[in-house]
Structure 1
Amino acid sequence: MKSALVTGANGQDGILLSRYLLTLGYKVHGTVRGVDRAVEKGVQRHVITEATLNVWEELMAEVAPDEIYLLGADSFAGMPLNGVSQMLESNVMLMAHQLEAASRSVPGARVFAAGSAAVFGDPGSLPQTETTPRLPTSLYGSCKALLHPLADLGRRSGQFVSIGMLFNHESPLRPERFVTRKITSTAARIAAGSMEKLKLGNLDVVRDWGHAEDYVKAMHLILQAREADDWVIATGEGHTVREFCQMVFELLGLNYLDHVLSVPEFWRPAEKVPLIGDSSRLMTQLGWRREKSFTVLVEEMVAHDVRLAGSGHQA
C-alpha cells in the first residue's frame, strides 16, 4: 500500500486530495495547524503547532511517505504588503524546511508543491504555459515564484520535486473570502429572503476557473511522471466575474443587476493580458483530462450554498 503525506489537509485542496487518494487505496496522513481542525474521514491527522525543520524531520521519518503533497500555506492573494513576513514564513520558509526534512528523512519520496498562476503577474502573452516568464506583481505571486528555485535545488540534489502552477480552482469547500464562494453564498441568502447586497469590485476581471476535484487529480498524476518538473494546471477558458454572477443569479431565478454592487473598496484593475493557462503539456504527456465544466462547477457551488441558506448555517 502506498502512503502519502498531505500538508494543509483541512483546506479545500487537502480535503479533496485526501479523499481522492483514499479511493486509490493510499494510506493518507494529513497535517493541520490546530487541534480543532478536522480532516477527511480515514486520514491519520497530525497536528503541527511549530513548523520547524526538526518537527518536519521527525514527522516524515515517522510516516515514511512515498508521496508528499505540500498544500499547507497562506493562499490569499489579497494579503497586504505589511504581511510580507507572514507570507514568506508560510510559503517560502515552510517549503524550505519541508524539502530539507524530506531529503534527510525520506530521500526517495516524491514531492508535489502547490504553486500559483500568480507567478505570471501581468503576463505579456496569452495563454500562459510552463515557459511563460515568471514576473509576479503581488506579494503572494513573488513568494510563490521563490518556490521554483527551491524546487530546482532539490532536483539538482536528487530529489523528485514538482510544482503545479495552479490557476484558480474552486469547489463548495472554498472559504467565503474567495470571490466565487462570496458570490454563491451571498446569492443563496438573497434568494432565501435576505435584503443584503452583494458587494464586489471590478466585474470585468477575467479568471480561469476550474474545479478543484479535477486539479487534485492532476497533482497525483504529476507525481507519477517519469521526471520531476513544473506543470501548468488550468482550464484554458476565461470567464469574467460578471459572467459568474450572472450564471449564479440566473440559477436562482434572479437578475444579478438587481443585487450586485461594484464598490471602490474591492476594486482592482483588470490585467492587460488575463491569466488563462494552457495545460496542453499536462494533457498530452500525463493524460490529464477535466471532468467538470465551468457550468457544473457553478451549479455545484450554488446547490451547496442554497442548502446552507435553507438550514440557516453559515460556511
Structure 2
Amino acid sequence: MKSALICGVGGQDGSYLAQFLIHKGYKVYGTSRDAQGKAFLNLQKLGIKSHVELISMDQEDFRSVLVAIKKSRPQEVYFLSGQSSVGLSFEQPAETIQSFTLGILNILEAVKLEDNDIKVYHAGSSEAFGGTSEFPATESTPFHPRSPYALAKASASWLVDNYREAYGLHLSTGILFNHESPLRPERFVTQKIIQSAKRISKGSQEKLSLGRLDIQRDWGWAPEYVEAMWLMLQQDIPEDFIVASGKSYSLEYFVDQTFYQLGLNWKDHVIQKEEFFRPTDLLVSRADPKKAFEKLGWKAHLGLEGIIEKMIKG
C-alpha cells in the first residue's frame, strides 16, 4: 500500500486530496499544528476523518517536519499548508512569507536527508505571475508577484526548482489558478458571494459589500484539481504544471450568475466599498493549461456556472 503525507490536510485542497488518495488505495497521513485539538470539519464533511492518520507538525520547525516524515514513511508528500488568503497577507506579511518559504524548505531538507526517492508536490499559485493582461500565462512566464502571498509562493517555487536541479529530487510545483468548492472558507470572496446571496434569497435584508468587480479570474472546481496534483507525482520526470480551466471571467459575472441562479438581480443587493480594494489588485489573470493536458492528460471539465450551482447546493 502506498502512503502519502498531506501537509495541511484540513484545508479545502488537503481534504479533497485525502479523499482522492483514499479512493486510490493509499494510506493517508495528514498534518496540522495541533492534530489532537483541531476538529477537521472538512474531513468530517467528506466522511473520511477516520481514514486519515493525523500527525501534529509545525512546518516551521525542522525537527517537527523530520519526525512527521519518519513516522509516516511516505512515498509522496503534498505540501499544501500555509497562510492561504491573499487579502490577509497584506495584514500578516511576515507570517505569510515564513509559513510558505520556511515550510517548504524544511520539507525539502527532510526529504533530502531521509529518502531521496520521496516525491514531493508543492502547491504554487497563479498569484505569483501577477497580472497576465491579454497574454495567458504558461509555465515559462516570469513571476511578478504583487502581494506578500504571491511573493511567498514565488519564493517557495524557486526553492523547489533549486533543490530539484541541485539534488536531483522528484519535486513538482503545481501552479494552480483559482479553484472553488463548498469547502471554501467565507473569507474567500467566492464563498462570501455564495453565502450572502443564499441568505438574501431567503429574506435577509443585508447588502453584499465587495471591492472591484472588473477583475478577471480563471475559476475551476477544486475536486478536479487535486487529481492534477497526484498525476504530477506519477511522472518519471518531475516538472511544473499550470492547472487551470483556460477560461477567465470577471467577478461581476460570478456575482451575476450567483444571484441569477437564485432568481435575483445582483444590482439590487450589491454595493462596492473602498475598504475591500487591495493595495495592488490583479486586474486580469489568464492561463494556458495546454502542458497539463498534453503531458498529464488532465483538463478541467466543470464550467463556472456548474461550479456556482454546486457551491449554492453546498
Fold shared by both chains (TM-score > 0.5): yes
Contact conserved, 1:6 with 1:29, CA < 8 A, in 2? yes
Residue type matched to 1:179 in 2? V
2:124 aligned with 1:115:
yes
Superposed, 1:54-93 pairs within 5 Å as 54-81=63-90, 83-93=92-102
1:139 counterpart = 2:141: no
Q: Aligned to 1:114, what secondary structure does the other structure show?
A: strand
Cα shift at 1:80: 4.7
CA distance in 1 between partners of 2:192 and 2:297 (Å): 33
CA displacement at 1:152 relative to structure 2 = 2.0
Secondary structure (helix, strand or coil) at the match of 1:146 reads helix
Residues 176-228 of structure 1 show CA distances to partners (whole Å, capped at 9, x for unaligned) of 00010000001111111111000001111111100101110100011111211
SS at structure 2 position matched to 1:302: helix
- Give me the whole-angstrom Cα distance separating, in 1, the residues matched to 2:58 and 2:281: 39
Structure 1 segments of 4+ aligned residues over 6 angstroms from their partners? none
Is 1:246 aligned to 2:256, yes or no? yes
Query: Relative to structure 1, is the Cα distance of residues 223 and 49 closer, same or farther in structure 2, using a 3 angstrom cutoff?
Result: closer
Are 2:290 and 1:280 aligned? yes
Secondary structure of 1:78's partner? helix
Q: Deviation of residue 125 (structure 1)?
A: 5.4
1:16 aligned partner: 16
Contact 2:213 2:251 (8 Å CA) reproduced = yes
Which whole-Å CA distance do the structure 2 matches of 1:62 and 1:127 have between them?
42
After superposition, what is the alpha-carbon deviation per residue over 1:96-124, rounded to whole angstroms, capped at 9, x for unaligned?
Answer: 01111122123211000000011111336
| Residue aligned with 1:292, SS | coil
Identity of matched residues, %: 38
Displacement, 1:9? 0.4
Q: Give the 5 Å matches for 1:257-296.
A: 257-268=267-278, 271=282, 274-296=284-306
| Pair 1:95–1:80, CA change in 2 (3 A) | closer
Q: Is the 8 A contact 1:123 1:135 kept in 2?
A: no
Distance 1:80 1:221, change over 3 A: closer
Distance 1:82 1:297 in 2: 30
1:99 aligns with 2:82: no
Tell whether the 8 Å contact from 1:64 to 1:106 is kept in structure 2 after alignment.
Answer: no
Gaps of 5+ in 2: none
Q: Within the alignment, does 1:230 sit opposite 2:232 as a pair?
A: no
Find out whether 1:212 has 2:222 as its counterpart: yes
Deviation at 1:26, TM superposition (A): 0.7
- One-letter identity of the residue aligned with 1:194: S
Q: Distance in 2 between matches of 1:54 and 1:245?
A: 45
Determine helix, strand or coil for the equivalent of 1:149.
helix
Say if 1:79 and 1:285 are closer, same or farther in 2 by CA, change over 3 A. Answer: same
Shift of 1:132: 0.7
The code of the aligned residue for 1:152 comes to D
Native 8 Å contact 1:238 1:276 kept in 2: yes
> Aligned partners of 2:287, 2:115: CA distance in 1, in Å?
33
**Contact 1:60/1:106 (<8 A) preserved:** no
Q: Which residue of 2 aligns with 1:53?
A: 62
161, 167, 181: which one aligns with 1:171: 181
> 1:300–1:144: structure 2 CA closer, same or farther, 3 Å change rule?
same
Conserved? CA contact 1:31–1:46, under 8 Å: yes
SS of 2:212's partner is coil
The 8 Å contact of residues 211 and 292 in structure 1, kept in 2 or not, is answered as yes
> Of 155, 160, 183, which residue of structure 2 is paired with 1:151?
160
User: Using the alignment, how far apart are the partners of 2:172 and 2:59 within structure 1?
Assistant: 25
The answer as to 2:310 corresponding to 1:300 is: yes
Aligned ranges 1:5-44 → 2 under 5 Å: 5-34=5-34, 35-38=37-40, 39=43, 40-41=48-49, 42-44=51-53
Structure 1 stretches lacking a partner, 5+ long: 305-315
Could you tell me which residue of structure 1 aligns to residue 3 of structure 2? 3
